[in-house]
């Protein structure tokens, strides 16, 4: 461990990335690779687990090849990952029993509805902070055990392991010696009690999950094992793990209660730090673990939007009206504001604060004058509208959070993710929120968060306070829209959502 650099793996929904950061927290090198998505039925989304593994190894090798010393320059490795995606594999052979079921997948909607009808949601929410929704891992794991031939018997015989993507990668990196996860990923499974910080026997029984399948849960900055030397050319200690949205919260230095970040990738996820107190949302937001350091748990309120950047991907790959995702900004700028369209991108249902898995996407306001430019504008604006839905809920929940919390009317949103490079989109976001939006100098905040966790444990990076002091803004977007226009646009959005709901 001769180097002082940190290698961060960012395993996402549509691509895997690896970034090397130096001891001043600056990115030095990166590798990125897309991998196939599989849609076997309507509402089903899967990944080949081997694609996740191969692409991760490939991008790490690409990044390491760009720095002096290669793997020998790395002090520690951090991992951040798409959180609720569910994998099950054989303990001895490492062979997955089926494709990974992705967080966007909705195949367990009927199971969730049945458990709700049986009155289980209050107990589940009370222990996990989550709702009974197909989004989370527990019902996906239950589906695999019931529907994949031989899985139930093998699991009960102790032959199968469950994990989210972080656990799968660590198991492979360590040659099967470490079956572990961190508290943030565990908190997204519907099986983990976020008050006791332990897997919960009652929850596991509800979903029919043998507890022997579950990984050991550790702090977000901890010893997760060591990657075998033949993979990267040196034995790399894995010292930081966090789910992607929690890693972005760390990377944005949102360490104080009341601070809010929003990440714009495939979906959009806003988290508000609530400190050491778990806050029960009155607006159907999630209570979750933001991070756990030195055995101390910090909680957050989270709002989850299932479709953000993937709406732009749909414009590119589905409608084929743009060639590249960045083209959407130029198209939106060319749109006639008089051609007012609302796109509700409920391709896989609606997330917070609606939680309607049966809703499907719709576009309202189409006329003969509507064209590709207007569709691009509507797609980008939908991200702003959905974010406001979340921020309105957070502002309301924050009223009861007590002293030391940022006042709701003084909220500033820190943003990150691929969509934030679009100035047009970020300005509309500030306009529709009526609040400043801060874009940081380092946009790769998800990877940065994982890297900081690993560097903190390895002793090469500063503590929370010093790290927060190094956070730098690239640009602040101030709201410029008149209040009356903002209110009218948002009311149009709310009407569009009402007409999209499955109970409409």
User: DSSP string covering 64-132, please?
Assistant: HTTSTTGGGGEEEEEEEE-SS-BEEEETTT--BSSPEEPTT--TTHHHHHHHHHTT-HHHHHHHHS--S
Give me the pLDDT at residue 139, please: 96
> Token digits for 262?
């929003």
At 408 the pLDDT is 45
Q: What is the per-residue pLDDT for 1?
A: 41
In this structure, the dihedral spanned by the alpha carbons of residues 219, 144, 359 and 133, taken in order and rounded to 10 degrees, is -40
Residue with tokens 């596991």: 204
pLDDT number for residue 504? 66
How many of the other CB atoms lie within 10 Å of CB of 26? 11
- Count Cβ atoms below 10 Å from residue 68 Cβ, excluding itself: 9
Q: Which two tokens stand for residue 494?
A: 């709310």
Tokens 């990440």 correspond to what residue? 263
pTM here? 0.87
Is-contact 192 182, C-beta < 8 A? no
Burial class (CB in 10 A: 0-12, 13-18, 19+), 445: buried
pLDDT of residue 130: 93
For each successive 10 residues of the chain (504 residues), what is the average pLDDT? 82 93 90 93 93 97 94 95 96 96 92 95 95 93 96 96 97 97 97 96 97 97 97 96 94 90 87 89 90 95 86 87 84 88 90 85 92 92 93 81 49 86 93 93 89 93 86 92 95 94 80
């Amino acid at each position: 461990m001769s180097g002082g650099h940190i290698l961060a793996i960012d395993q996402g929904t549509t691509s895997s990335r690896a970034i090397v950061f130096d001891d001043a927290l600056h990115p030095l090198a990166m590798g990125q690779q897309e991998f196939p998505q599989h849609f076997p039925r309507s509402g089903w989304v899967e990944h080949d687990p081997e694609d996740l593994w191969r692409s991760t190894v490939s991008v790490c090798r690409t990044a390491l090849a760009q720095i002096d010393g290669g793997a020998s320059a790395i002090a520690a490795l951090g991992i951040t990952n798409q959180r609720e995606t569910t994998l099950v594999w054989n303990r001895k052979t490492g062979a997955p029993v089926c494709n990974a079921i992705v967080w966007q997948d909705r195949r367990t909607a009927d199971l969730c509805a049945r458990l709700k009808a049986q009155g289980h949601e209050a107990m589940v929410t009370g222990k996990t902070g989550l709702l009974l929704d197909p989004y989370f891992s527990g019902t996906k794991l239950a589906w695999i055990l019931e529907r994949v031939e031989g899985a139930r018997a093998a699991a009960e015989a102790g032959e199968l392991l469950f994990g989210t993507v972080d656990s799968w990668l660590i198991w492979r990196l360590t040659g099967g010696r470490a079956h572990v996860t961190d508290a943030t990923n565990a908190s997204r499974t519907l099986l983990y009690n976020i008050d006791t910080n332990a897997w919960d026997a009652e929850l596991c029984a509800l979903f029919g999950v043998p507890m022997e399948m579950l990984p050991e849960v550790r702090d977000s900055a901890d010893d997760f094992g060591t990657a075998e030397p033949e993979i990267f050319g040196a034995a790399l200690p894995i010292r930081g793990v966090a789910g992607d949205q929690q890693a972005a919260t760390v990377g944005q230095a949102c360490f104080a209660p009341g601070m809010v970040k929003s990440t714009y990738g495939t979906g959009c996820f806003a988290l508000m730090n609530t400190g050491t107190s778990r806050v029960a949302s009155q607006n159907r937001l999630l209570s979750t673990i933001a991070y756990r350091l030195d055995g101390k748990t910090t909680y957050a309120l989270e709002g989850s939007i299932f479709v953000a950047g993937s709406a732009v991907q749909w414009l590119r790959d589905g409608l084929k009206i743009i060639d590249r995702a960045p083209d959407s900004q130029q198209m939106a700028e060319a749109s006639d504001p008089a051609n007012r369209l609302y796109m509700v991108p409920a391709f896989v249902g609606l997330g917070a604060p609606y939680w309607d898995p049966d809703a499907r996407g719709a576009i309202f306001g189409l006329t003969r004058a509507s064209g590709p430019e207007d569709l691009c504008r509507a797609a980008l604006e939908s991200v702003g509208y959905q974010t406001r839905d979340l921020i309105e809920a957070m502002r309301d929940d924050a009223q009861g959070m007590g002293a030391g919390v940022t006042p709701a009317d003084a909220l500033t949103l820190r943003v990150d993710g691929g969509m934030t490079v679009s100035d047009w989109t970020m300005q509309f976001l500030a306009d529709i929120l009526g609040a400043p939006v801060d874009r940081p100098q380092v946009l790769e905040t998800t990877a940065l968060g994982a890297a900081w966790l690993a560097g903190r444990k390895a002793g090469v990076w500063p503590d929370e306070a010093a790290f927060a002091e190094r956070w730098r803004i690239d640009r602040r977007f101030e709201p410029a829209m008149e209040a009356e226009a903002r209110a009218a646009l948002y009311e149009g959005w709310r009407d569009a959502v009402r007409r999209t709901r499955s109970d409409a």
